[in-house]
Amino acid sequence: MLQYEFPLNERIRTLLRLEDLFGKFEHFVARPDSLDHHVALLALFDILEVTARSDIKSDLMQELERQRQSVISFRDKPGVSIEALSRVLTEIEHVANALGSTVGRAGQYLRENEWLMQVRGRTNIPGGANEFDVPSYHAWRNRPANTRLQNLAQWFFPLSPLRDALRLTLRLLRDSGQPSQAEAQSGSYQQQLSGKSYQLLQIRIADQTPAIPELSANRHMLWLRFTSQDGDLRPRAFEGNVEFEMTLCNF
């Protein structure tokens, strides 16, 4: 199954973007090549860019508290494992405390690193971070892999509580939904939301199906239309029926 995720508010949109960037950083930092570490550093700069646009720390603290209250509300429901709830509550408390203990805005210490900001400025220019524009960066990229890795780990470490809080928040959100089967007629599907508020929509389609979902949504309705790609990959309307699995998530 091929899965698509669509955020239904701006906060979740930002969290999903950050999740993608953290994943890219961890993927490339684990590889020894200089170019991989260059891409990892670019991902770190992109994380700074996203976190500069909003108080992501405050948003995550609020989301974790909301999820904590939601978990507590399950205690009196029949068939719920108190032990499982306790584990989740302990995890939320641990992650929230670690995030709350961080000082200042996310990544502020990186913004105060003059050399990193010089490199960041040059990477915004196509081909700008080269050996004649930033000789010190060229020298760094040619240091031993272990040295570069230590530097990257040091620069990333203060962001670890933010990453952990983000991962827990999205994991609990994804676990909150119940999948259901649906079918789009002639490439289109609509569903009334009946006043209910959701944060995330997951769509799963058999990977051999040539249909690609696109979402339009508001507080009252969501509308999925499916497209396919022709020879030059330009999207065009998909006119057949599409069976898919959908999950609406809201913790």
Which residues lie below 8 Å from residue 219, measured CB to CB, with a gap of 6+?
193, 195, 197
DSSP state of 197: -
Residue 218, pLDDT score = 85
Residue 4, pLDDT score = 97
DSSP state of 56: H
The C-alpha atoms of residue 174 and residue 249 are separated, in whole angstroms, by: 6
Helices (H), ranges, the chain: 10-29, 34-51, 56-73, 82-100, 108-111, 114-123, 135-141, 145-156, 160-175
DSSP letters, 95-164, are: HHHHHHTS-SSTTHHHHT-HHHHHHHHHHTSTT-SSTTT-HHHHHHHTS-HHHHHHHHHHHHGGGHHHHH
Q: Is 174 exposed, middle or buried (0-12, 13-18, 19+ CB in 10 A)?
A: middle
Q: Residue 231 is encoded by which pair of tokens? A: 């020879």
Residue 83, pLDDT score = 86
> Using alpha carbons only, how large is the chain's radius of gyration in Å?
22
Which residues lie below 8 Å from residue 240, measured CB to CB, with a gap of 6+?
186, 187, 211
**Tell me, which fold does domain 10-173 have in CATH?**
YacF-like (1.10.3900)
Q: Residue 95 is encoded by which pair of tokens? A: 């992650």
Q: Is 137 exposed, middle or buried (0-12, 13-18, 19+ CB in 10 A)?
A: buried
Homologous superfamily of 177-249 in CATH? YacF-like domains (2.60.440.10)
Query: Residue ranges of the domains in the chain?
Result: 10-173, 177-249
Average pLDDT by consecutive 10-residue portion of the chain (251 residues)?
A: 95 96 98 97 95 87 91 80 89 95 86 94 91 94 97 95 96 94 95 89 93 91 93 85 96 75
